[in-house]
């Protein structure tokens, strides 16, 4: 079985406050994009995990893919598998690649072994792996609240636009990103802003991480500003960074040979 876990971008990200459990309450629209890792899952005599593509730091046992396998195995005693992860989505980039890989591992194992798990059960399992993980169970734009796990569908159509993403290779950990944030809440609801055309988003659709992250990494602010110079209708950092993206009506040119850069037709 071969699956293609997608990246995501955040269209707006309000950080509303800190919870008693140590997490933060957020509000954001998560939108999957066709930048994908490749995940192969096969029955095997023993558990095996192989990772290629962009190197992943850390012990393989700590990889979210293996955590997803162990989680499902602990609940349903599934057979052993061979898993090959081809990593194409930059890590620590605000693109949700690791979360997508973990969730697609759950989806693949559910299908491979005919477990018949419902969307709700899969989302609950995914929540145990990470706040962004439940989003990837259902392939549609979703409004995320709570710590990111409270999801509801939202109608956001970007078909026909071009998306340019730039990642400078700066790894921003979640704890680092949250350390200096100021709590944010726009004057208008996120749903209301997103109901408008992307041409109207520039001054209304904000990412609450940008202020503190841009202060520490001014290069990211410069990349966002350059996207506007190139003609973007809307530009933003996604998640807690360090990827920035711009939406265009016409195909933009590549401009950073030394950075990870991709132009995608949505």
* Span of 33-37, 151-155, 176-180 with lowest mean pLDDT: 176-180
pLDDT band at 171 (very low <50, low <70, confident <90, very high): confident
Higher pLDDT, 178 or 6: 6
Say what the pLDDT of residue 2 is.
98
Q: What are the residue boundaries of the structural domains of the chain, listed by start? A: 2-153, 162-265
Which of 233, 244, 231, 230 lies closest to 202, judged by CA?
233
At 7-48, the pLDDT tens digits run 999 999 998 877 777 677 889 999 999 999 999 999 999 999
Answer for the pair 243, 215: CB distance below 8 angstroms, yes or no: no
pLDDT band at 186 (very low <50, low <70, confident <90, very high): low
* d(C-alpha 31, C-alpha 8), whole Å: 5
At 212-225, the pLDDT tens digits run 899 999 999 999 99
Q: What is the largest CA-CA distance in the chain?
A: 57
* d(C-alpha 229, C-alpha 84), whole Å: 40
End-to-end CA distance of the chain: 26
> 87 - beta bridge partners?
53
Indicate whether 82 pLDDT > 90: yes
Using CA atoms, how far residue 248 sits from 87, 138, 230, 263, in Å, is: 27, 26, 9, 10
* d(C-alpha 145, C-alpha 124), whole Å: 15
pLDDT band at 113 (very low <50, low <70, confident <90, very high): very high
Architecture of domain 2-153: 2-Layer Sandwich (3.30)
Q: What percent of the chain has pLDDT over 90?
A: 76
Architecture of domain 162-265: 2-Layer Sandwich (3.30)
Which residues are marked as active site?
8, 132
Say what the pLDDT of residue 22 is.
66
At 244-254, the pLDDT tens digits run 999 999 999 99
């Amino acid at each position: 079985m071969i699956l293609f876990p997608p990246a995501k971008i955040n269209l707006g990200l309000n950080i509303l406050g800190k919870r008693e459990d140590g997490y933060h309450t957020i509000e954001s629209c998560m939108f999957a994009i066709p930048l994908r890792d490749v995940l192969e899952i096969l029955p095997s005599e023993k558990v095996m995990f192989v990772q290629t593509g962009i190197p992943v730091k850390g012990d393989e046992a700590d990889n979210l893919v293996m955590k997803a396998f162990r989680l499902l195995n602990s609940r349903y005693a599934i057979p052993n598998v061979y898993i090959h992860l081809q990593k194409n989505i930059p890590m620590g980039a605000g693109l949700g690649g690791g979360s997508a890989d973990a969730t697609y591992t759950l989806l693949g194992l559910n299908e491979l072994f005919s477990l018949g798990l419902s969307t709700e059960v899969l989302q609950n399992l995914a929540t145990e792996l990470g706040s962004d993980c439940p989003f990837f169970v259902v392939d549609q734009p979703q409004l995320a609240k709570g710590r990111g796990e409270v999801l509801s569908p939202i109608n956001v159509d970007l078909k026909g636009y071009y998306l340019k993403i730039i990642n400078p290779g700066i790894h921003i950990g979640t704890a680092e990103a949250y350390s200096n944030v100021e709590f944010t809440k726009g004057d208008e609801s996120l749903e209301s802003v997103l109901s408008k055309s992307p041409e109207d988003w520039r001054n209304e659709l904000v990412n609450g991480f940008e202020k503190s992250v841009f202060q520490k990494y001014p290069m990211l602010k410069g990349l966002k500003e350059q996207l506007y110079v190139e003609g973007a209708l809307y530009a933003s950092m996604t998640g807690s960074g360090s990827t920035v993206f711009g939406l265009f009506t016409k195909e933009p040119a590549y401009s950073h040979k030394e950075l990870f850069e991709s132009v995608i037709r949505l």
